[in-house]
Structure 1
Amino acid sequence: MPDSADVRAARDAGPAIGRDDTRAASTNSLGQLYLDWDERSLITQHAGAYSWEVLQSYMRDHIDLAQLKANNPNMRLFMYFETAGAYDETPDATWPSGMPYQWVKANHPDWILKDGAGKDITFWNGSLHLYDVGNPAYQDEWAKRAVDYARSGGFHGVFGDDVNMGESFLTSWSGTSSKYASNIAWTRAVESFLERVSPKLKSAGITFMPNVASLYDSDRATQVRWAKLAGAYAREHYQSWSADTELLGGAMWAWMASLHRDIVAAGIPFYAFPHGGGAQATDKMRYTRASFLLWHESSVGGGFAYSTGGGPQTGRDPYNSAWTFDLGAPKGAAVEQPKGVWTRSFAQGKVVVDSNTKKATIR
């Protein structure tokens, strides 16, 4: 989920939507992702509300990170760093969002994957140039830069974007790579990336949070293994797609819930961040957060963020009582009764999620 192509052009931030600070947010799980230029003004808001934030590395030049941490000493800051590619910036940005393209092109052109005609393969509508994530030398340089950039900026961890299984990624490429011509070949390359990179970040004291994409009926065991390798797992579009009304239900919701349960059961922090904005998004906010709370265990860690970044609502504050409510500690495990309807009780109320009708209530 890289920042948009016009991040270097400032635009006026829009008005806040549905803001309600009257109920305390849980510092155990709430967080936020600020990945677009438009969102800089939002980063320092709601001091004490968020226990973690993900920021673009370049934002260190626009935000007083020391003051941000002083306002909330318990908050963990993660630096965004793309794993699979980079923008073609000339010259390379001082704090790039991934391995700098011009430097790679000049020093390691073999790390840039080509199609049959010898052209760079790009992904996500041609925005980023694809790198060879299975190359050990690339993996070592990525880890070195991630650690150096995170340390120099005062970040606690690194958020690695596009740690994707092959079946959810190859269809976005502009061409075919002879080295990674199949979904499984790319999936294995990504796993080798995690195997080599994760220990390097861990030994440097840097938390690694990979943002994993897969099809909703894909192998959960592989993703649990990846979560164990990295020590954390992030899931974009949690129980939803980007539009306000695109919620998962039925078998798709159940698959995502099972993945969440499996990773938490393995003792690995699970981070969820649905996104999509608008004043009518409160049902989505409530549904996705309530779904998250069914399986979240504060003793394991992890967190939830509802983000409006990357779309027409970019620059608007997504803080809203529909997803920032705090019900206190859970009083037991989630219970299914009847089929597809899950309930979990907490010290100050309970959540009820009906995956059949895609509705959630807080009682």
Structure 2
Amino acid sequence: MAALVTPANAVEQPAPPGGGTVQSFWLHMNSTPVSDEVLATEARRRAYIVLNAWEGGLIPKLKAANPAVQVFVYKDLSSTRSYACRNGVDDAQLPTGVGYCQAQKDHPEWFLLDPNGRRFEYGGYSGHWQMDVGNTAYQDAWAANVVQSSTKAGFDGVFMDNALFPCDAYHQGVCPAKYPTDAALQDAYKSMLANTRDDFVAAGLKTVANLSNARLHAGAWDAYTQHLDGGFDEWWLTFNDNDLLSEYPEGWSRQVAQITSNEARGKITWVQPHHSDGADRPYRFALASYLLAAGDKAAIASIDQTDGYGDPRPWRTEYDWDLGAPTGPYKSVGANIFLREFSCGTVVVNANRTDTKAVDVPLGGSHLTERGTTVDRVSLAGTSGAILRAAC
């Protein structure tokens, strides 16, 4: 076991307000049946819920249980869906902002093309046709349609899926003729987000976009969220039970910085670790990392399978804990060891590689572990974390 060494130049991050309690969200995007009892339960304990456009009838039930819950509608920024076009007529409620029938008939130039002039269909998602997000006419139509349908249904905001970063997303190795580089594609998305921003603000609709893998593109998270009310990281810190993100230039710190940056700017952050329900290590690593950075805007919810957006995931005991007010921002107390103190507890994360030796971290007083054991120090292996309560 390696002993803790506290560096003289410990790095501190800005302190967001709040942070001693967990907020969570529920992405209900697979249209699974939901009872009134489940709706009421989830409305009371989730800060944010995402529904499909055709599920607007659930909003009154959610608001009756908790008027403060914020309900978002799912809309894909980047595609139109041919499966939602039937006999030449688009469905009344769409998962996108522009109908396939409308685009096919009136605006074929809105379809993004590969270097051979062929349209892009998302790999692995049949019936999803990629659109030219840099086209201002597409931007205007997308925003107008989404604002009109969302406000009519009573949604609080819009969850914008697929704000992409690599030019070959969904078609590996092949970039659009119009956007042959990552930078060119990212400029197109920044243009769409910036040009439609005023429409959503004027309508009173919050906007949160799926910014998956932003960590791989320096500055991309802040550049996109500049024109949004928040961001969602679909793959945050834990990718399965055994693949956990450690510290390196595009690793742990860059994903945790998504929360700290958004909190400093008053923006929402949703983070989604991937692991099975019984996997203790990835769960605690992700939750402790979240608590290091969270203020009053961020929310976390684990998922156990890719695109498993049906029933709500099981509620966790630690989600109900109150660690009290933070005494300051999180800080480095060793090589890739991070700690944040609260009035009623302490959170510690070891962000070193999974295969590194455990590090002994003193806590400065008695604490209760997640299992109820009294300790004054914890031993943490790489990519692990601890959430500890103290008397207050």
Corresponding residue of 1:361: 386
Change (3 A) 1:329 1:39: farther
- Select 2:54's aligned residue among 22, 44, 58: 58
- Select 2:242's aligned residue among 242, 245, 267: 245
- Is the 1:306–1:323 contact (alpha carbons within 8 Å) kept by the matching residues of 2? no
Q: Does 1:30 align with 2:24?
A: yes
Residue 210 of structure 1, CA deviation: 1.4
Alignment of 1:1-363 (within 5 A): 29-38=23-32, 40-41=34-35, 43-61=39-57, 64-89=58-83, 90-91=85-86, 92-98=90-96, 99-127=98-126, 128-165=128-165, 167=166, 169-173=167-171, 175-214=174-213, 216-220=215-219, 222-241=220-239, 243-251=240-248, 252-265=251-264, 267-298=265-296, 301-308=297-304, 310-311=306-307, 314-315=310-311, 317-323=313-319, 325-356=321-352, 357-363=382-388
- Is the 1:28–1:51 contact (alpha carbons within 8 Å) kept by the matching residues of 2? no
Residue 39 of structure 1, CA deviation: 6.4
**TM-score, normalized by length of structure 1?**
0.82
Higher-Rg structure is 2
Change (3 A) 1:93 1:283: farther
Runs of 4+ in 1 over 6 A off after TM superposition: 25-28
SS of the residue corresponding to residue 303 of structure 1 reads strand
Q: Take 1:209 and 1:358, find their aligned partners in 2: how far apart are those partners?
A: 28
Q: Take 1:261 and 1:45, find their aligned partners in 2: how far apart are those partners?
A: 29
Cα-to-partner distance string for 1:245-264 (whole Å, 9 max, x where unaligned): 32211211122223432333
**TM-score, normalized by length of structure 2?**
0.77
- % of aligned pairs identical? 23
Cα-to-partner distance string for 1:103-148 (whole Å, 9 max, x where unaligned): 2212211101122444321224243110000001111111111111
Q: Take 2:55 and 2:20, find their aligned partners in 1: how far apart are those partners?
A: 25
Bigger drift between 188-197 and 336-345 goes to 336-345
Q: Aligned partner of 1:360: which letter?
A: G
Unaligned runs of 5+ in 1: 1-24
Change (3 A) 1:39 1:33: farther
